[in-house]
Amino acid sequence: MVTLFNNANKGTGAPEGSGHKDSYSTYQEPDTRIPPKARPVLDAVSVNGVEIAESDILAEAQNHPAENPGAALLAAARALAVRELLLQRAVELNLVLAPERNADGRRETDEDAAIRMLIEQEVSVPSATAEECLRFYENNRAKFRSEPIFEASHILIAADPADQRARDAARHDAERLATVLVEHPSEFATMARTHSACPSAAQGGNLGQLTRGSTVAEFERALARMTEGEITPRPVESRFGFHIIRLERRIDGEQLPFDFVQDRIAGWLEASTWSKAVSQFIAILAADATITGIDVLGADGPLMQ
């Protein structure tokens, strides 16, 4: 039997009895039978001693779109903390729950009913006065105009955005056609029937009356810059291909009278006031509560969503 390294001090320069220990005598194999516990994604979040489970935060995060997962988790944790804060207050007030049903006949949960009834009881929002509505109207007149209406025709030279060669060829064809039509505008309908890939080709490219949202954004921006009878000298590019547009007629939006929009303004003002009042109510509850793991009053997010 051969013993290796019986005396670790030999050949090391360390004197015997100096306390030097060889590295083999103190080494222990790691215990791989029990996997290490994963670190929680957030510090423990609790409201007045009631902990909010990490699994609930992870599930809630899908309801809070954000730039990154961390921001979504933070928003989810804050939302659940606020919810728990409100539910605890509802229990303190011994609210007698009266769940309602929505237009589809679906009954709200007891928790949702408790939160709704709590806010209805504790948050008071005054109705917007006629004077307040008129002041908002005068300060935001541009918001209260009817949408402009455009009557237009177009020729679409279609091209797949993923096929660069086809895209370049379509651009060339559209530019050549636009040059011809600027010189010979009376040929527009004929050219549309012959060359356009849009179903409107059957009507000589006529699209009828267009309002905001009727076409793609690039098309709308081009229309807004055009004058009646004008044909775009260069094709307008969109994901569908290249459009040669002719504006037949435009009807600019008109200022809507105050009486026509007063109820709408009142609804906006009351909704804004309600949101602020609820936020203040939550802030008061949070100030009197013991909340760990999350800053409910943080400036980087709303108190309630």
pLDDT in tens, 278-305: 999 999 999 999 999 988 876 444 444 4
Q: How confident is the model at residue 25 (pLDDT cuts 50, 70, 90)?
A: low
CB 205 within 8 A of CB 155: yes
CB 276 within 8 A of CB 119: no
Asked if the model's pLDDT at residue 16 lies above 90, the reply is no
Closest CA to 55 of 47, 67, 65, 45: 45
Q: Boundaries of CATH 1.10.4030.10 in the chain?
A: 41-144+258-305
Q: How far apart are CA 210 and CA 75, in angstroms?
A: 40
* Topology at the third CATH level for domain 41-144+258-305: Triger factor/SurA peptide-binding fold (1.10.4030)
CB 171 within 8 A of CB 235: yes
Asked if the model's pLDDT at residue 1 lies above 90, the reply is no
Residue 297: the pLDDT is 74
Structural tokens at position 274: 């309600």
pLDDT in tens, 164-220: 999 999 999 999 999 999 999 999 999 999 999 999 999 999 999 999 889 999 999
Residues in the chain: 305
pLDDT in tens, 255-278: 999 999 999 999 999 999 999 999
Q: What is the mean pLDDT of residues 153-166?
A: 94
Architecture label for domain 149-251: Roll (3.10)
Q: Boundaries of CATH 3.10.50.40 in the chain?
A: 149-251
Q: What are phi and psi of 107, to 5 degrees?
A: -85, 135
Q: What is the pTM of this model?
A: 0.56
Residue 43: the pLDDT is 76
- E strand or H helix that includes residue 156: strand 149-158
